A and B are shown apart, each in its own frame.
Chain A
Amino acid sequence: MSTTKRQVAMVLDLNKCLGCHTCTVACKTLWTRDEGMEYMHFNTVNTMPGLGTPKNWEAMGGGFPAGDAALGEMPSTGAFGEAWEYNHAEVFHGGKGQDVHLQIQGPAPEWGPNWDEDQGGGDFPNSYFFYLPRICNHCTHPACVEACPRSAIVKRDDDGIVVVDENRCRGLRFCMEACPYKKIYFNHVKQVSQKCIFCYPRLEQGVAPACARQCPGRVRFVGYRDDENAPIWKLVDKWQVALPLHPEFGTEPNVFYVPPAGPARFDAAGDFDFGQRRIPDEYLVSLFGERVLGALATLAAEREKVRRGEKSELMELLIAFRWNDMFGGFDTNPQTLRWT
């Protein structure tokens, strides 16, 4: 268990996530454009239920399942999804007319980072889905740090951000096996592991991470974990409606989720059945642990309160009247920065 002076954290409200991937693209255009990084998405968004990214990652192991470290599977590049290349020039300028169409070059892909988009689970009309955006959890008990024989993964003391020291990394990839969330990528060109850096160069300038600041759904809260005046602490500790994903992995993530409510389900006759949730409780428990049921009950009760005309601190927090207040003080507009 590492203790840092402070820890930054993120809360994602899954009831507001649009599945639009602006976060993914914001991250991609900022950090992973170089050679060797083409297939990387430090931020991913998956439709749940689904096999996710990398494919079937929840079953790959790693972390501290029973309190002890366990190496899991090493995800392949194909499981993350290869960076497909296309034949635009041949189609537009090749003189082959309609005999050639735009296609992925090389072998037909079997998976990608958003392969099961909008497919969901259950049986129609009681089918269901929601979106699960993921970054590195910047865990308090990071399995990757413990697994690295080179001590090449650093948990920064000032903010608890977990960063790969590429000067020390020798590409051994134990971290990829150890991380139960499978959020570490391997750069085959540089021969190093690379992962989400929680946009520390931005945080250092008072700017929120790109995935949070660029999120049009206003899903993501950012801030120090211990700031009792900011939304993170209130949502995680005070109201206890924001929960870590797969707490049983034992790494103590610092990314938390407000669980999805989902629409009313239908009974066998086709009338609304308000007695049970459309998204099965057991599925949500499998993702967020038993506490998810309490969180959903709290969310429902507070919403009922505002429907009666009463005030609710929780609902006002989640509405986030002022966008910049979501970022726990990391509210600088990057456009105002001048590099000297």
Chain B
Amino acid sequence: MHVSRRHFLAGAGVVAAGGLVFHNLRPKTPGAILPGPPPAPKTAARSIRYDDYSDIWREKWTWDKVVKGTHTRANCCDACSWDVYVRDGIAWREEQNAIYEPHRADVPDMNPRGCQKGACYTTLQLAESRIKYPLKRVGERGEGKWKRVSWDEALQDIADQLIDIAVEDGTESIVFDDGTTNGGFGPESHGDARFRDAMNCTAIDSWAGVSDMPMGLVQTWGMFNCEGTADDWYLSDYIVIWIGNPNSTRIPEAHFLHEARYRGAQLVVIAPDLSPTTAHADLWLNLRPESDSALGLAAAQVMIAEKLYKADYVAEQTDLPFLIRTDDGRFLREGDVVRGGADNAFYVWDESSGKIVVAPGCEGDGNGGRSLALGGMRPALTGVRQVVLADGATVECETVFDRLVRKLDAEHTPEQAAAVTGLHPNVIRTFARGMAGANRSMIFASWGACKHYHSDLFQRAMVLLMSLTGNQGKQGGGLKVAAWWWLEGLEFGGESPLGLTDKLGLIPKAIRGLSPRDYEQIYTKVSDKQGWTPLMVFLYVHGGYKELWDKPQLQDKSLSRNVADYMRESIDKGWTRVSPREDRNPRAYILTGCNPFRRWPSPQIAREKLWPKFDLVVSINFRMTSTGIYADYVLPAAAYYEKIGIKYAQSYVPYVICSDKATEPQGEAKSEWEIFGRLTKTIGERATERGVGVVRGWRDEPLDLRTVHARQTSNGRYDPLDPDDPMRVMDDIFAHSPSVSARSGREALDMGAVPVIASAPPGIINQNYSDYDPNDTHWAHRDFIEKKVAWPTLTGRMQFYIDHPWFLEAREELPTHKESPYFDSRLPLRMAGGHTRWSIHSIWRDVQLLLRLQRGQPVCWMNPRDTAARGIVDGDTVRVFNDNGAFECMVKVAAVTAPGEVIVYHAWETYQFRNWKGQQEPVESPWKALHLAGGYGQIHYRMFYGAPSHVPHGTAIDVEKVA
């Protein structure tokens, strides 16, 4: 499961636009700022000395000072505060800063938080993979021949090449990629984002590109970032882990699951294999891989057939009472019934008045689509109505609910699902009744639940269950993905991408208070002005992947058209975005921490077809990576304990975690803030010296290269070459963030963990729409349920019926079950995976200390039935292959792995495999054409929302023993 990016920085720009001055009008934060907790008083250690053997050990446990630290740019979906113990000028070891206060007396506290990786970052930052000096390639790309150069030489050469490219092809030919390893909320990352914007680079949008995009939630909710504090899990009575393995991937939070069991909760895991999380579950549903939607829909069938659903909740919060025309399968629209009526106003049958009424909250309800409050209306969930149209004709209409029930009863009974899922019908009934019968049920389905071809269908079925049972928006309930706290101060100092006209247009909305839908429109507007391109679209158009992805066997067989057709239509209609334009080439690639050859599907294609297009590849990282070695320059970034910063603030813990500088950087490493500041300074100087001025920026708008450093530094407000500059950034952030309790950078760094005291306004990665109460657990979506705020969808509801033409064409207007393109593959095995407990993506993957606690090399897990059939025994080296690619690794024969599955956990570096052929070589990643859809309410692209997903799981393969 990935957590990725968290391109909150871009988010910063967006909310800078969205929040701009406007949320001053509607503050959600308390007027009075609460003080933070006082620092723990120091006491003198007892002086104990025996003058015998026992002093040997006492002397090992001493230190000179303790500094708060965390792993700011690790892109771990957690945030844990550590005490970094420094001795003799070296960050020697770390131990958790376990100071978290509980929300309530009857809920466990969050201590100590942290994992084995965080507990040995001191080791990683001193490891051999560490980059200490600027390196220039002197051999072939990937050969590993380097020359140590000075910073000045490196930056001057890079600047000159970027200027050349900008002059010739515009700055969109410079591709900036922070991938999945982009960092935090603080100065450790702001320099990167400022560079990207100051230079008007093409920005790779990897949110869907790393398959962390819950498209089913985009389609249903019009958003997807939702999660509260992890202690809210403790209050659930029926906890379903549905595609995910939190015992490995949510190590600091997992205890709440097991403590909830001691409170009486049931822990249910839905997964093909018996995972580390399943080991502690009460029930395990070992379904056939990728049959999740069939299970979910069968459970829904049981709930409805046995009348276990919450009719009032469903009538208010979902589109299930909405009327559909039976003639064309589209919603009944006001425009159908009234001449000149709106196309985005939809009807329910109101039993109170006995007539059709436009549903409150839908986009075109005439009141801004803001409220779901039904007043005296009683929407009918069921019944066929004859409706007279504007032209006098009569059309038959039925409710979404009736259509859904008919489909469920016809296709998705537990007995039918048993044939698809391999689960006994009683198992499905036990599950459905358990979920519906519990006081509070939740589904943990985070990023891992986005990595299959039809993940969106899985998610639509999951939300359906949470809606039928009235759990979405309830304490201890609902589907939980992930979310972040926002800091108002992140909007400080940046330039708003919106022009004056845009801002003026927002004023009337802002005066009423921005609705979730208003925020979404702002994010989209900002995104459209910048150089965002979804990764899969970039690879399709520029990366050489078209030939692979157009192959007939990789298409959804229920569609009559090839993905190429959908791509053409989507680009032509402006639904998806390509930067640089189709007729230009990407020419420079700047990667800050990310590692595409480790991550992208079939990286051999990018190596062969995309890389030659680049005149210049620059990797900025604290460590060497599988991709860095294919760069022309490798620039050394300071390690996490060598610079100050703020970890992106995951909502699991109601604290914002900050990292102080424990030691000076190794060698000549520098903070990213300084590196990018020096780079823009050099670009400006070289442009001036060379007489280069205005070039083509985003959308070919003019961009003056001589002023790029002014844009980087907010017109000189910052001076990245000044060692105190990062603290100025920290000060600016905290001084303007009333939702947390530190007021300055120093105060925040001394706390390490800065308490959240209120909800900040919504942001691009903060869409919980729930007010934070420091005396209770936190959970998402309360505004919709408790304040009747409309959801940011076309219908204003959790929308289960999508009458977009592509969805009708694909027969996905309702949640359904479909097989992946590999369903009829002649290859017998399927590649599965998931994040490992041993790394955060490829960071920590090569740490010697941790490799010694594994097999020390890449491995796959296979069931003994599959290995026996192939003459393979534990410890053998095997070749995992298909027509597209192959890699070799060691086999672990495991009774807990499902027959037919080959599990390769996440993120081995390609350089850990023979000939650097890594685990992604066979991964073709066919992706779903429907994810290119747009032009329909919540179905659209903007950065970090709604784009085709990389599909790392489910690839058809076979395995053979390597002689």
Contacts and interface: CB of A to CB of B under 8 A. Distances in A.
A90 to B, nearest CB: 9
A319 B279 contact: no
B102 interface: yes
B518 to A, nearest CB: 40
Interface string B86-112: 000000011111110010011111011
A335 B97 contact: yes
Contacts of B58: 201, 204
B274 interface: yes
A86 B115 contact: no
A320 B44 contact: no
Contacts of A271: 424, 426-427
A306 B255 CA distance: 18
Interface in A67-122: 81, 83-86, 88-89, 91-99, 101-104, 109-110, 112-122
Contacts of A102: 846, 909, 911-912
Interface in A142-174: 163-168
Interface stretch (B163-171, B261-269, B738-746, B754-762): B261-269
Interface string A155-198: 00000000111111000000000000000000000000000010
A316 B108 CA distance: 10
A216 B251 contact: yes
Interface in B266-309: 269, 274, 276, 278-284, 286
B142 A97 contact: yes
B61 A263 contact: no
Contacts of B94: 29
A205 interface: yes
A189 to B, nearest CB: 14
A95 B143 contact: yes
Nearest to A86: B848
B553 interface: no
B258 A217 contact: yes
Interface stretch (B121-129, B183-191, B359-367): B121-129
A28 B60 CA distance: 12
Nearest to A21: B116
Contacts of B98: 213, 323, 333
Given A18-B251, A124-B863, A338 B263 contact: no
A321 B116 contact: no
Contacts of B465: none
Given A95-B145, A306-B264, A120 B856 contact: no
B899 A124 contact: yes
A334 interface: yes
A337 interface: yes
B352 interface: no
A189 B195 CA distance: 52
B424 A114 contact: no
Interface stretch (A127-135, A223-231, A245-253, A290-298): A127-135
B56 interface: yes
A26 interface: yes
A121 B102 CA distance: 39
Contacts, number: 321
B419 interface: no
Contact of B262 (A270, A319, A323): A319
Contact of A200 (B52, B54, B427): B54
Contact of B852 (A16, A113, A123, A333): A113
A263 B855 CA distance: 27
Most chain-B CB neighbours within 10 Å: which of A91, A109, A324? A91
A166 B61 contact: no
A307 interface: yes
A240 interface: no
A264 B53 CA distance: 51
B896 A120 contact: yes
Given A201-B61, A323-B98, A339-B63, A101 B916 contact: yes
Contacts of A131: 276, 279
B916 A263 contact: no
Given A18-B254, A205-B45, A197 B57 contact: yes
Nearest to B246: A18
A201 B41 CA distance: 21
A26 B102 contact: no
Interface residues of A, number: 106
A30 interface: yes
Contacts of B276: 18-19, 118, 131
Contacts of A337: 42-45
A99 B914 CA distance: 8
A150 B111 CA distance: 43
B42 A318 contact: no
Interface in A2-42: 15-16, 18-22, 24-26, 28-31, 39, 41
B140 interface: yes
Nearest to B46: A205
A69 B422 CA distance: 53
A119 B893 contact: yes
A181 B915 CA distance: 42
A238 interface: no
B849 interface: yes
Nearest to B269: A263
Nearest to B48: A204
B100 to A, nearest CB: 9
Contact of B264 (A125, A129, A201, A307): A307
B259 A101 contact: no
Contact of B116 (A20, A31, A39): A20
A263 B284 contact: yes
A14 to B, nearest CB: 9
Contact of B629 (A92, A109, A129, A213): A92
B424 A26 contact: no
B83 interface: yes
B792 interface: no
B962 to A, nearest CB: 13
Given A303-B264, A315-B262, A318-B262, A264 B52 contact: no
Given A22-B251, A83-B852, A205-B46, A306 B263 contact: yes
A221 to B, nearest CB: 14
Interface in B822-867: 837, 846, 848-857, 861, 863, 865
B897 interface: yes
Contacts of B254: 18, 216-217
- Residue of A18, A167, A205, A270 with highest tally of chain B CB at under 10 A: A18
B116 A322 contact: no
B424 A333 contact: no
A124 B898 CA distance: 7
B427 A30 contact: no
A292 to B, nearest CB: 17
Given A125-B286, A339-B62, 12 more contacts: A15-B280, A18-B248, A25-B853, A39-B852, A85-B848, A124-B863, A124-B896, A130-B279, A263-B280, A272-B283, A323-B108, A337-B42
25 contacts: A16-B280, A20-B115, A28-B120, A84-B851, A86-B848, A92-B624, A92-B911, A93-B146, A97-B139, A97-B140, A97-B143, A98-B916, A117-B854, A120-B274, A125-B284, A128-B279, A167-B52, A167-B53, A218-B112, A271-B427, A272-B283, A318-B262, A321-B106, A321-B109, A339-B63
